[in-house]
């Protein structure tokens, strides 16, 4: 636990939070939303929509 308490290991807390958030996002189906958007041509991105 001392390893995690060390201030210079704050990046590790960030990684753990990242993994946790990714899991929460996956559980809520957010990656399907991203997929559905990314496989269609984004008309806003190309200045048409």
4 binds other proteins, rule: CB under 8 A: no
34 binds other proteins, rule: CB under 8 A: yes
Which residues, including other chains, have CB under 8 Å from residue 28's CB and lie 6 or more apart? none
45 binds other proteins, rule: CB under 8 A: yes
Residue 4: CB minimum distance to other proteins, A = 12
What is the spatial distance between Cα 33 and Cα 38, in angstroms, rounded to a whole number?
A: 9
Radius of gyration of the chain (CA): 18
Positions touching other proteins (CB under 8 A) are 8-15, 17-26, 28, 30-35, 37-39, 41-42, 44-49
């Amino acid at each position: 636990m001392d390893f995690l308490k060390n201030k210079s290991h704050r990046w590790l807390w960030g990684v753990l939070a990242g993994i946790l958030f990714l899991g929460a996002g996956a559980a809520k189906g957010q990656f399907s939303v991203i997929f559905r958007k990314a496989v269609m041509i984004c008309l806003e991105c190309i200045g048409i929509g």
